Chains A and B, each alone.
Chain A
């Protein structure tokens, strides 16, 4: 794809929407600046909004995330990072705008269709299936999706092998028979990442995967993420830890009050005065 004109199918949409309406007037520099990456785009949002009562959690946000590599999303507390994740995965319905996953434009993102679009995620507040075993927490995302076929499916050797591999790579094989709720916080974070990894998709959204982890666990999570990246997949992660953001991500998106403050290569963006101000002001 040639950098200037964006990705195929969604051209029309971009041309049709007035810049004001999709929140581009303020930060618009040039199409070149917004749509980058030799491998095309994994995700885009076009004028996406979400309000909770009077709070505009995400406000006419337009951004693009290139395929492959790691893109970090940063911003002060309450700037809309998690809300953006929830909109991308369909966990929250959009108030307006368009989400483009894998070059398919969606006004309504159905959560149960996101794996088909090549997307999965973890949650900031770690959402496991608490009262079932660690083993079942992984198995459940590997099995048959259609209800009636699932009724007839008993556990398959292929699924078991895969679950075993995942649990070994996150270091929880020994804990497989324990209920997920009995794990420590760090182990829970790892299991949730393992659960996402069990899905073979192109794009992984990780909401604060490093928050609250001790150094040893933190290294483990970093390694897992590098492993995913090195297999040619896309990672989008939210973090407050600037050292890790600098170390891991090749691209950064800065949000402030639900709007795009900056996006681009990590060092230049973090050096911009408005970004520094947003962080010092918060």
Chain B
């Protein structure tokens, strides 16, 4: 009691707490204001395209945080599910009249986007069960390595499964969604669609993390052996959240494929997965808001660098990665829970 009282009344402790509260508030404000200023400065067209990129990264980040932040499973293979979702949607909607012109034909289904979407997500779910059962056998460092392995395998399937994916040539002219007779060809319409799905993702994730299930996940993250003694089968919980998270990534993939209308294996390389993990950690583990902030900061960073006068356009990509890397190192040193996170690795 006295020890605790002494600790609570130390001036350093008080300052530390005040500062901790401040960082959350200021980080959020800074990023939001930055986004607003940027969009007003660059105009509507820019806001629409940056908003779409943000929405896709945000769905991915929020879904990955369920696994990394809440369940404590550091997976760097998430991009694999994004890719499976994208390819599934691309192939299921692929158009026969277009595909006949190609030298290397892939199967054509010509489904409408909204028919292909649930099937793509379900296919990702099936893949996630298989990968999840394997991953559940591992822990800690080995877990990270095996999830790495999954991302590499997925990439190689996209690259070499030519009969399905047409390998490095990619899949072109992927259908845009249509509601009734109204095809969402405009960028603004598509942005709205993306934001609707982002809102759904956030809602589903919020319902999960605030349920009894979500509380058990955090306990598994903290001490798997201890929670098992209280009657919970940790492997079942881990598999369940893994599959849910993967399916949300699959949703992001299907939307991405339709949005860009062209995908090839280069969109699903390991590096993208690492960037995604960085976004989640940067924004804050075990915080949905953190993942939204992280995705926003990342997209602003990427786009912002285009406007640096001394930086040639071809270096923007590398510079973005370098900055992100430096930010991550600084964060791990000084704020391991990320900007607004509630859990430190």
Contacts and interface: CB of A to CB of B under 8 A. Distances in A.
Nearest to B237: A147
Interface stretch (A13-21, A23-31, A122-130, A232-240): A122-130
Contacts of B344: 131
A141 B223 contact: no
Contacts of B110: none
Given A114-B231, A132-B218, A184-B4, A150 B211 contact: yes
Given A114-B229, A131-B344, A148 B240 contact: yes
Given A143-B215, A143-B216, A91 B225 contact: yes
B225 A127 contact: yes
B222 interface: yes
A123 B230 CA distance: 13
A110 to B, nearest CB: 8
Main secondary structure of the interface of B (DSSP, over half): helix
Contacts of A96: none
Nearest to B8: A182
Given A150-B212, A151-B211, A111 B229 contact: yes
A140 B216 contact: yes
B229 A150 contact: no
Contacts of B240: 147-148, 151
A211 interface: no
B301 interface: no
B226 A123 contact: yes
B3 interface: yes
B236 interface: yes
Contacts of B227: 129, 140
Interface string B1-36: 101100000000000000000000000000000000
Interface residues of A, number: 39
B225 to A, nearest CB: 6
Given A112-B231, A184-B3, A140 B215 contact: yes
- By CB atoms of chain A within 10 A, which of B1, B216, B225, B230 has the most? B230
Contacts of B222: 128-132
A103 interface: no
A116 B228 CA distance: 12
Interface stretch (A45-53, A55-63, A74-82, A152-160): A152-160
A147 B213 contact: yes
Given A111-B228, A145-B231, A132 B219 contact: yes
Contacts of B4: 183-184, 187
Contacts of B232: 112, 145
Contacts of B225: 91, 111, 127
B226 A153 contact: no
Contacts of A262: none
B229 A153 contact: no
A89 interface: yes
Given A111-B229, A116-B231, A123-B226, A131 B212 contact: no
A129 B223 CA distance: 6
Contacts of B159: none
Contact of A151 (B213, B219, B234, B343): B213
A115 B211 contact: no
A118 to B, nearest CB: 11
B344 to A, nearest CB: 7
Contacts of B1: 184
Contacts of A89: 229
A199 interface: yes
B229 A90 contact: yes
Contacts of A128: 222-223, 226
B139 interface: no
A116 B231 CA distance: 8
Interface string B189-218: 000000000000000000010111101101
Interface of B: 1, 3-4, 208, 210-213, 215-216, 218-219, 221-223, 225-234, 236-237, 240, 342-344
29 contacts: A90-B228, A111-B225, A111-B228, A111-B229, A112-B231, A112-B234, A115-B229, A120-B230, A127-B225, A128-B222, A129-B223, A130-B222, A131-B342, A132-B222, A136-B215, A136-B218, A140-B227, A141-B231, A143-B212, A143-B215, A145-B232, A145-B233, A147-B236, A150-B212, A150-B216, A183-B4, A184-B1, A184-B3, A199-B230
Interface of A: 89-91, 111-116, 120-121, 123, 127-132, 136-137, 139-141, 143-145, 147-148, 150-155, 183-184, 187, 195, 199
